[in-house]
Structure formats: C-alpha cells, structure tokens
Structure 1
Amino acid sequence: MLKVEEYITKRKKENKIDEFDFKKHSENMASIIKYVTDYFNNYLSLEDYDYERVKTQQTVDKFKDDIQKKYPETHDYIILYYFDNKIRLDKYVAKAYEDIKDSELFYKEEDYNNVAEYVIEKKLNVQMNEMLFHKLSVMAREYKQIENECPSISEMKELDNALVDWVKAVFRKYHVDLLNYSGEIAYHYYKTYVVTEYDRDTDTFYHINNYDYRYQENPFDIDDIYARNEHRDFIKDHKGELEMLIMYCWLNDYIKDLDYWPEYVQLSIDSNRVRLSKRKRVFIPVQISYINYPSEIVTAGKYIETINGVIEKDPGKNYVLRISYVKSNDEVWKDKKALESLIGNLQNSFKRYGAPDLVEFQSPYKAAGYSKENFFESYQAFEKGLLGFIKTKIAIINGNIKGSKGKEFLFSSIDDILKLYNTSKQLSLRLKLSVDFNDSNRKNILKEKMNETINALSSIRSFIVAIHLNKIDSWSNYRGIFDEDGKHAYMSVYDYQTVSTFMQGLATIVQDSKVRYLIPEKIDKEEKLEELIDTLYRAGFCFEKGGSIGEKQ
C-alpha cells in the first residue's frame, strides 16, 4: 500500500504530468486534487489499510524477539522504521559490515558512525537525519558486539604463545577477533587465486593455487592493510604479527601447505618482522673434519674422537669429544681397569687442552651377563671421574641400526631410550641423549615407526642435547596431497619443495627454544652438507653462532 505522496507520484508518471509547465497550471492543479480525492475515496480503503497493517504486524512478530535480544537499545526504532518504510535497518547494518573494508576491526565510535553514514548514503539513499544517524550508529555498535565470538585457542595451537596472548588481549579489551579478520583476508585470496576443479572419475576436488606467497616482502598486500589500520591501538607496531596470523590462516585453512609454516616463522623472527622473543629449533653446528658449512653458518668447535681418552693435538675451543670403540670393543663399560684408564686419560687431556663442551659415547653392546643396571654402575663411576669438569655435558648416543654378527646395542629402540631417560632422572645423573638419526640404506631403526619415534622423543625433548644427521632426503615425503576426507587435493602452479616425513618429525621433536648441537658426522662432501642445511632451513630450523651451549640452556 502506497503513501499519499507515493500515490500522487505514481499517477503523475502514468499521466505524464509536468507541474513546471505553467501553461497547464490550472489543469495540473485540478489533476493533483483529483489524485488526492481518488487516493482517500477509492485507493485507500479501511479494509485494505487494516489488512496491510495486520500483514506488517505479522512480519514484525516473526523477527521481534530476535531483534530485542540482538539490539537491546534500538529494537523499538528498528520496528517503528519497518512499520513506516518496510525496511529492516538491522539487515542494512549487517550488509554495511560486509561491504566496508576492515570492518572486522571496528571498535571506536567513529567506526560505528562510518557504518551509519554508509547505510544512509549508500543503502537508504535518503537525506541525513540526526535521529536516524544516531540510531544506526548505536545499531552498528550492537551488531559488532553480537557478531564477534572469542577466538578459539584450539584454532591457534601452532602459534607462538606471544601471538596467542596478543589475540586474546585484543579481544578482551576491544572485542575484536584478529584471528577471524585474518581468516577473512586469507579467504579473499583463496577466492581470488585458487581455482577448484572437479574430477568425476576420481570424485576429487582439485584446489589449484595461483598465488605466490613464499618469500614475499609484501604478502597479502600487508603494507596496505597496515597503512589503513595503523591508527588502531592494537595494530600499531604489530604489522609482522598481523601478517603472521594471515599466513597461518592461509596455510592451515585454505591451501594446506603445512611445509612452509615452520620456515616462515623462523624467517619472520630472523628478519625482525615479528617481536617474538624466542627462536625455536636452534642448532649449534659442529665442524666435522675439513668439511665447510655454507658461508653464513658460523660453526662451534671441532668434532674429534678418542679411543682411550688421550687427545693428541690441541682441539681448540668449544670442541665436542666422542669416545669411540675400535672393532666394537666397548670394554670401557665392562672392565673396571679399562674405565679407570679412560677416566685418567680424559682428566689429563682436559687439564692440558681444556674441557670439551660435550663428551659423547656410543651405547655399549648387549652381552651375556651384562645388563642395563651394570652399565649405570659403570657410568656413575665415569661421571664421578669428570666431576671436576661440571660445565661439560655428557651424552650417550643411541644405537641406530640393527645389530649384526650377534651384536645388539644395549640402548637402541624407543623403549630403551625411554628407560634410559627414566633411570637417568631417578638417579639424578648428568647424562643426556645424542640422537643418532644417521641413515644408510634405510637401516635406521628409529624410522621404522615414525609416529612412535616422534611422540616419544617429543615427550623427552629436554633430555636431547645433540642430533646426528647425514642423508635424510630418502625418507618419505611428509606432505600428503589429500585432505582427511580423501576428496580434496591441494596443488600449486609454483614448484614449491616439500619437507620429508623425517624432517617434519624432527622439527616437532625439537620444537622448543633449547639449543642443541648439529653433528653431521657421516657427511663427506660440502655439497651434501649445504643440501642438508638448506633442508633444515625449509623445515624451520635456525643456527646459533658457534660457541658453547652453556649452562643457561
């Protein structure tokens, strides 16, 4: 049902009346008077009017309860405006939030005023009205309060605690969900750059990414986003953190690139894009023989070996010493005199050249009548002999391959390692673990059950002081192309390298800020070492400048 002015306008258009044609002044005036008479006598009947009011009231009754809950301050105005204009102002406000860029970050009065102005000028197309403007502004604030939910901690499990605390603090103080905002940015790039194709034969959806996001100075146009929102208290000086949130949503929620996240985090820290205080997965590289690391890597001391505890030449500072066995002869752990001789020689060598940062030895072999208890008795004597060199760490290297010719390592399997950890803890020993992940022809037994290895070693990561690595590229590819439901495949037009199962597992095992030694003892060429270092970078590892780990770790 039309209002009188709307009815007159309608009739004027039908009869093509031009009220500014003064030659037809009297004629036009008579027509307008007739329109008014027709409106009240013919068009507007009480029955029709009552029906229209009843119909409107029924519509209002349907949304009234919901409006009262969501808009406690403005629900009356919304209802009255609907009676007069058949327009739901609350829906116009919701649409304005969809249209206005960065509206997820709104929290100030001026933000809500901008929403009100947008609705009046772009949606209602009416003259500015003070009452309408005020009500819409309040409505915009109420809408923001009901739409934002507290960000889920479970959705941020891979984020640094400092980032999680930032997101939580911003929501608590400003009622702004930064994780949701970042997800919206990532979703925009997904809609823009990812093409989805369906293969009927395999019942698979292929999501093909066309956006090159790796190693970019301005990913997701973060410079523009930051410039638009730098005036907001919680955004100022947090450009890198906001970029990291967007990248997190992009990688985890939309393109499933699980490989890049650890590397991206480390790159962000190293380039000072974020103010995270702790680096994770940190190695001190040890010099093996005369094999040089890439030029940007500053090594610690040398890796040297001794059979009887005697060091022939000055090893220099910060060296790592390995007690080796000749022809599988581990008598130092099974013969008291041999152990005493080893201890005496080590004491003399340390007094002469200085103590190493780390002393490590291979697990002894199993033998009839020789148990783990016998080993710990011998080891306690060994540790007592090095009591004067308290800053030197001591570590046992697990046996990494299946025994041959009747030889089996005493500490080799995951169960063995866990027993080693528990006993060392019970006896309050200095003993730590050097994990031997060296692989030759796929014989390393720790890789047979990777999930078990990852879970177990992750639970005792504080026990691990060094990692031995050589060839790891043959260990299977980590990044499965299919999602959990088996119907979605994620691809990229860019040739991104993936990370192996082993390397992703290693990144999980040492996912803390503790510094550990990297000992590439089986690598004999610089090219292979450079390849290993590059792989570690891509898995999110970083390198401390050469020097002692120190007791602070």
Structure 2
Amino acid sequence: MLNIEQYIRKRKYDGEVNEFILSDKEQHINFFKQCIDDYFNEYLNSYNINQNELDNIRKSEKYKKKVRAYNQDIIDWASDTYDKHGIYIDVHIVNLIKKEQLFLLFFQEDELLDIAKNIHRTLSERYVFLNNDLQIIFDFVKNYHKINSKDSIEDIDLIFSNEINQWIKDTYQNYGVNLLSFAYHWANYFFEHPQIWPINHKVKSNSNFATYEYDYKNLDNVFNINNLYLKVSERPFMCNHKKDLETLIMYYWLHDISGEEEYWTEYHKILN
C-alpha cells in the first residue's frame, strides 16, 4: 500500500505531469487536488482498512524515516520488525552499543562481531523472534559504526597542530576510525558520569542542577586520561598519542560542554 506521497508520485509519473510548465498551472492544480481526493476517497477505501490500521501505517512510515540513514536491508528489517512486533529494534541495539565506551575506536570486524554476538544474545533472550537474526544485527553494528564515524575531518587544519591533524587524517584513512567522533563521545560520556571523576577534580557547584563541577584546569590525569590511554594504547594508531588524545577531548569539553572556549588558547600555551 502506498502512502500519499508515493501515490501522488505514481500518478504524476503515469500522467507524465511536469509541474514546471507554468502555462499549465491551473491544470496542474486541478490534477493534484484530484489526486488527493482520489487517494482518500477511492484508493484507501479499496483496501477496506479502519482507522487503527491507518494509524499503524502512518507510524510505520514515520519509523522508516527515522532509520533512513541505514542501509536499505537494515531499513527493511527494522521496519518489518516494527510492523510485526511493535518494537524499535534500532533503539535497543544502539542502547547496548553505547555501553561499549571504546566502540568508535574499533576497526577490526572481529571486534564488531563480538559486539553483535553480545547484543544478539541479550536481545534474543527477550525477543525469541530474533534468534536467527545475528547476521543482520552484525550488519547493523557495522553500519552504525560507519555512520557515526562519518563526521567531517576536513575543517580541522585551523584547530589543531599539524601533527595532530595528520594523525587524525591518517587514522581515518588507514583504519576507518574517526578520532574526533571518539573524543566528542568520550567528553560527553565523562560529563554524564560524574561518579568516575577523581575526587581532586571535583569542585562544589553553585548550580541547582549538579552537586559538583569538573575541574578541567587541573591537568593531572584530566578526563581520566591515564586509565583511558591504558585501555587504548595497544591500538596501532594510538601509540605515543596520549597527550594528543587529551587535546581532542579538551577541545570538545570546552566547545560543547563547559562553554568556556576562551580556555582553549590558554591550554595551548600550557602544552607548548
């Protein structure tokens, strides 16, 4: 069954209508009015569906738009799962992916497959109809990683040093890993989990929204960089880049979280 946009598109194609011929303006107006009238009074009635079914179709179309960034086979699978079982499968998978803090630093298929297997095991225990869906879940994980690694790295030359810029570009080209995306997500993860802040970085907050603020000017193990680097140092693109990684995280902390961009210049002076 077609939605109204698809129905009008088909009628327009079948009728070879070109709305850019302005001399036929009145004819086009009448044509599209007739399409709308026919859609509601003839086309929908021909399916003999009730209001609940129409609402379900509308929700299904809305969900397809929500997942349109993924590959077509994933869109079809997610939409079919929603239509049959009423669950937003993408939300369930993404929530489980987000528990893996280093996900955006993965570059080997084996790593992504391990994530997919864990997700499949967890979800199939709750939804038995997913028992045979490991492959499509694996495809989803790979596609999600690719989408979230696509952030532009073209405009970095005026932000970081030449050495850091080259490191970012080489890593993306050779491993498909976007270090900017990882730094952005780590900065946000760190902000949202004050329980992992070392006590010597916690400052009593005057805000009504938080008990503590993070003292990012204390550069001793800022953003728990020691522990973080210990986890990632064996990745081939991370060797000898501990301070560079800290710099990327600091950039997003200042520009996307604290709003204190003016410290960026001072931070650079401290590094140099």
TM-score norm. by structure 1 comes to 0.33
Amino acid at match of 1:179: L
Contact 1:148-1:176 within 8 A present in 2 as well:
yes
Amino acid at match of 2:233: E
Amino acid at match of 2:207: E
Amino acid at match of 2:185: E
Q: 1: distance between equivalents of 2:138 and 2:50? A: 33
Contact 1:93-1:115 within 8 A present in 2 as well:
no
Q: SS at 1:70's partner residue?
A: coil
Deviation, 1:123, is 4.7
Amino acid at match of 2:215: Y
Amino acid at match of 1:90: D
Q: 1: distance between equivalents of 2:130 and 2:243? A: 42
Tell me, yes or no, if structure 1 residue 185 matches structure 2 residue 152.
no
Inter-CA distance 101–53: structure 2 relative to 1 (3 Å threshold): same
Aligned to 2:207: 197
Deviation, 1:135, is 0.8
Aligned to 1:264: 270
| Paired residues for 1:290-329 under 5 Å | none
Deviation, 1:111, is 3.2
Q: 2: distance between equivalents of 1:100 and 1:61? A: 31
Aligned to 1:102: 102
Q: Which protein shows a greater Rg? A: 1
Structure 2: unaligned runs, 5 residues or longer: 1-48, 195-201
Deviation, 1:248, is 3.3
Deviation, 1:53, is 5.9
Q: 1: distance between equivalents of 2:151 and 2:184? A: 14
Contact 2:251-2:264 within 8 A present in 1 as well:
no
Inter-CA distance 252–61: structure 2 relative to 1 (3 Å threshold): closer
Q: 1: distance between equivalents of 2:219 and 2:77? A: 52
Among 234, 246, 250, the residue aligned to 1:247: 250
Among 232, 236, 241, the residue aligned to 2:235: 232
Describe the superposition over 1:516-540 as per-residue Cα deviations: whole angstroms up to 9, x where unpaired. Answer: xxxxxxxxxxxxxxxxxxxxxxxxx
Amino acid at match of 1:116: A
Inter-CA distance 113–128: structure 2 relative to 1 (3 Å threshold): farther
More strand by share: 1
Inter-CA distance 114–88: structure 2 relative to 1 (3 Å threshold): farther
Inter-CA distance 65–186: structure 2 relative to 1 (3 Å threshold): closer
Q: 2: distance between equivalents of 1:77 and 1:146? A: 18
Deviation, 1:130, is 6.0
Among 211, 219, 224, the residue aligned to 2:215: 211
Inter-CA distance 55–259: structure 2 relative to 1 (3 Å threshold): closer
Aligned to 2:41: none
Deviation, 1:136, is 0.5
Q: 2: distance between equivalents of 1:53 and 1:74? A: 24
Contact 2:233-2:239 within 8 A present in 1 as well:
yes
Structure 1: unaligned runs, 5 residues or longer: 1-48, 199-204, 267-553
Q: 2: distance between equivalents of 1:166 and 1:146? A: 21
Q: 2: distance between equivalents of 1:156 and 1:209? A: 31
Among 223, 226, 237, the residue aligned to 2:226: 223
| Paired residues for 1:3-42 under 5 Å | none
Tell me, yes or no, if structure 1 residue 132 matches structure 2 residue 138.
no
Deviation, 1:245, is 1.8
Describe the superposition over 1:155-212 as per-residue Cα deviations: whole angstroms up to 9, x where unpaired. Answer: 56242111011112222333332123213323344443574638xxxxxx9xx84426
Describe the superposition over 1:294-318 as per-residue Cα deviations: whole angstroms up to 9, x where unpaired. Answer: xxxxxxxxxxxxxxxxxxxxxxxxx
Q: SS at 1:170's partner residue?
A: helix
Contact 1:120-1:128 within 8 A present in 2 as well:
no
- Report how many residues are paired: 211
Q: 2: distance between equivalents of 1:68 and 1:197? A: 39
Q: 2: distance between equivalents of 1:67 and 1:158? A: 33
Q: 1: distance between equivalents of 2:91 and 2:50? A: 26
Aligned to 1:497: none
Describe the superposition over 1:449-493 as per-residue Cα deviations: whole angstroms up to 9, x where unpaired. Answer: xxxxxxxxxxxxxxxxxxxxxxxxxxxxxxxxxxxxxxxxxxxxx
| Paired residues for 1:143-154 under 5 Å | 143-154=144-155
Aligned to 1:61: 61
Amino acid at match of 2:188: Y
Contact 2:123-2:130 within 8 A present in 1 as well:
no
Describe the superposition over 1:363-413 as per-residue Cα deviations: whole angstroms up to 9, x where unpaired. Answer: xxxxxxxxxxxxxxxxxxxxxxxxxxxxxxxxxxxxxxxxxxxxxxxxxxx
Higher RCO (CA < 8 A, seq sep 6+): 1
TM-score norm. by structure 2 comes to 0.62
Aligned to 2:91: 91
Inter-CA distance 162–196: structure 2 relative to 1 (3 Å threshold): farther
Q: SS at 2:207's partner residue?
A: strand
Q: 2: distance between equivalents of 1:233 and 1:128? A: 39
Deviation, 1:121, is 4.0
Inter-CA distance 56–107: structure 2 relative to 1 (3 Å threshold): farther
Aligned to 1:111: 111
Q: 2: distance between equivalents of 1:258 and 1:68? A: 37
Amino acid at match of 1:80: D
Inter-CA distance 151–261: structure 2 relative to 1 (3 Å threshold): farther
Q: SS at 1:227's partner residue?
A: helix
Deviation, 1:252, is 4.9
Contact 1:60-1:79 within 8 A present in 2 as well:
yes
